[in-house]
Structure 1
Amino acid sequence: MNELMERRLQTVRDHMALECACDWDAVIATFEHPRYEMYGTGTVYDGEEAVRGYFRASRTPFPDQGNEIIALAHAGDTVLVEFWLTGTHLGPLRVGGQVIEPTGRRFRVRMAASFEFPPGGDKIICERPYFDAMQVFQALALS
């Protein structure tokens, strides 16, 4: 494994651990340009302000949201990650115009994400989580 590949893999490991710790300044520092493209919903959060808004919105219903890495792979300028997304429904969950009050129920769903890097660089330029939002609702017995 070459040095750049190892640095990229470590950046992704750090990024995911920092998300669990809710250290948003450090998460932002793993990016060259903060950007999330949510494959399941098609929503794009581009730029620091939008990404910090995503962090706030996603942690309000699930303040203990975490991830457990299952596998990592490096391909070209991309790192692929398979992981378990976990959390407990402890805050209001906004879905469309509806608010679902906290249930206290936990979820654990399998997901994947790709992390794109610029050629020759080790800072993330885009994270693309791949998921089915219905899995979380089913795990929380909301569907």
Structure 2
Amino acid sequence: MHPTEKIVRQFHESWDMRDPDRGAEVIAEDCDFEDVARGESLPGKEAYKADYERWREAFPDGLCKVENVIVSMDGEWATVEFRNTGTHTGVLRSSLGDFQPTGRRAEVRYCSVMRVKDGKVVEGRDYYDSATIARQLGLVD
């Protein structure tokens, strides 16, 4: 396995393992990460942990399964396809406000584009369809 793939897998698989500290180990202090769908910047380790806690609060049974990792020829960039699933039994805090638990399940495919330098994630972006989440949770028609 390419070292970049190992790093990005640790980043994502730590969500499934319920171990945000393990994920934070591979994040640079000055990491510039963006959640494109929410239009939010998530800089550094503490933002990663806060985002983990936000998601875990909304989906305590949530799973994050890596499906595919593609590493660029120069080894600096990786594209990660993954799937998040879970039951909305806690408050979902979002850029559109807080949504009370619906008890409904969601399954959403994501794509992360990440740059790794010196064994740390230094930059990245998550892309996903937030409308799919809202529909599955019954928040929109």
Which bracket does the TM-score occupy, shorter chain normalised? 0.7 to 0.9
TM-score, normalised with respect to structure 1: 0.83
Aligned-pair CA distance for 1:63: 1.9
Q: Deviations over 1:39-98 (max 9, x none)?
A: 112200112333322222222111222222221101131110112121110101234575
Contact residue 37 and residue 127 of structure 1 kept, 8 A: yes
Deviation above 4 Å: which 4+ runs of structure 1? Answer: 95-98
**One-letter amino acid matched to 2:13:** A
Counterpart Cα distance in 2 of 1:130 and 1:108: 14
**2:113 is equivalent to residue 138 of structure 1:** no
Match of 1:32 among 28, 35, 60: 28
- What percent of counterpart residues are identical? 27
Q: 1:125 is matched with which residue: 117, 122, 125?
A: 122
List per-residue Cα deviations over 1:92-141 (Å, max 9, x = no partner).
Answer: 123457543212211111211112112xx222112311012111111222
Contact 1:20 1:64 in 2 (8 A): no
- Counterparts of 1:49 and 1:98, CA distance in 2: 21
Question: Which residues of 2 match residues 55-70 of structure 1 at below 5 A?
Answer: 55-70=52-67
User: In the alignment, is the contact (CA less than 8 A) between 1:87 and 1:108 conserved in 2?
Assistant: yes
Residues 16 and 65 in structure 2, CA contact (< 8 A), matched pair in contact too? no
2: CA distance, partners of 1:97 / 1:114: 24
2:88 aligned partner? 89
| CA distance in structure 2 between the partners assigned to 1:114 and 1:102 by the alignment | 30
List alignment gaps of at least 5 residues for structure 2: none
Out of 36, 41, 45, which is 2:42 matched to? Answer: 45
Q: Following superposition of structure 1 onto structure 2, how do residues 94-113 of structure 1 map, counting pairs within 5 Å?
A: 94-95=93-94, 98-113=97-112
Q: Gaps (5+ residues) in structure 1?
A: none
With over 3 angstroms needed to count, the CA separation of the structure-2 counterparts of 1:10 and 1:108, relative to structure 1, is same
Structure that is richer in strand per residue = 2
Q: Which moved more, 1:76-85 or 1:45-54?
A: 45-54
Q: How does 1:66-77 map to 2 (within 5 A)?
A: 66-75=63-72, 76=74, 77=76
1:12-27 counterparts in 2 under 5 A? 12-27=8-23
**Secondary structure in 2 aligned to 1:142?**
coil
Q: Match of 1:130, SS?
A: strand
